[in-house]
Structure 1
Amino acid sequence: MAPIDLNSDLGESFGPWPMGDDGSMLAIVTSANIACGFHAGDPAGILAVLKEAAKRGVSIGAHVGYRDLVGFGRRNMEPTSAELVADTIYQIGAIQGLAKAAGTTVRYVKPHGALYNTMAHDAHQAADVIAGIKAIDPSLVLMALAGAPIVEQARAAGLTVVCEAFADRAYNVDGSLVSRRLPGAVIHDPEAIASRMLRLVNEGRIIAIDGTEIELAAQSICVHGDTPAAVAIARTLRDRLIDNGVELKSFAHG
């Protein structure tokens, strides 16, 4: 059985407004997608999370997103190619600088929210983000939605891609994520989440929201850090996987 990576979106607090329990999540996950200041996060808070991640040996990814603090990066946007390429470079560069100061290194890029979902199927925006990554550091791994067109597009462009599944999100029959605007889009039961992810790891299958069984090949599992039960979900999932002989290990080396 191949090892599996557990990742979470962290560093999203802003000034005096906390978002999630980053310290507890860093004790559970093997990779951390760190906000870059465009959809969430501030420099001091991001640096603190990076230092804690370095102390715990958690791999670091740049969680790049649309320039959308008010909407938490979850609103669809249509930046020009020049804007999106430059925004991608800018965000990665910011995290690379902070990571160096924290004694760690950025190993991968995981787009956030609306950008992530748009890129999964929009070849134009995907190409812009891919171009931004290649311009600043082509050795960075891209984390992308398992089964989506972006996976082959990025690989064809020369990037290494890690496919991701979402522990606490419902899936459509085509492998896309159910819109957060719809009921049932976010799953909250830790035991149910642990069971479905164990089956995904063992069999490569998951049940879509309409009851259809779909195939999904993933090397990393995401647990969102901003939901009320995030830590309980992540801990239950980690324990279930370990108890069933699954090795938890980041895909990023070094």
Structure 2
Amino acid sequence: MRSTRTAAASAALLTLTFLAGCGGGDDDKKSSDPETTVVTESPSTSATSEATTTSPTTDTSVSPMDPTDGADVTQDQLDAALLTPEEVGADFVAGSYADSDDPPPCDPSATPLDQQVPPTVQGGVEIDHSSGQAAMQEEISIYGSDDDAANALTLGTNGLACSDGTLPDGSAVKIEAPQDVTADVDPSGLGTSTAYSFSGDGYDGVLIITIAHQVILTTTFQSATGADTSTLPNPVDVAATAWAKALAN
């Protein structure tokens, strides 16, 4: 998983999905190219009143996944639970997602999360805004047990527990204190959700991590510094849509 990655379910994402170009996009689309990234000023207020996300849909061609019943979840089942551009908002298009495994920004010498606690199945998607000034990534990771997922979450969030981090390319990233957004992302109370705002040279972003039992879902939003994000969807709302779709699938 990528340290700046967006893939939520994957602990790798936990290390900041996009920041270092984590979790999605071509290898040359990293934090050094901030114009291809997404997000907002703060997890709860940066959104837009004009843009709204569509209701998540289920893929009826794939049987629903159930990581809690002891059955293995297939890659097809997981992929069917990921958001589509239309579900994120207007003017969003499919991007190129590529998984990577980087150390956490608060401990660049540490072993990458996915190597410490490998998920049993993991997948993600990158969705870019047509303006080229913003993008989002989603990642879902499913673990072999609730304990494995909880351990991955602890390791991942420990890797974000600093105000000044370092990305794999050596660049600096500022990380704000976590905010509990559970009530907005998962009002059912099945899981817990935490948001981290971050910024670096030329970009701003929000990483939202949700965990429930064996599933970790992460969404990462980035935008170029100074980009007009007033008409973009609220990252918390998109995280809620992603979680609802994952549950529906």
Q: TM-score range with shorter-chain normalisation?
A: under 0.3
TM-score normalised by L of structure 2: 0.26
TM-score normalised by L of structure 1: 0.25
Q: Determine which structure has the larger strand proportion and give its number.
A: 2
Larger Rg over CA atoms: 1
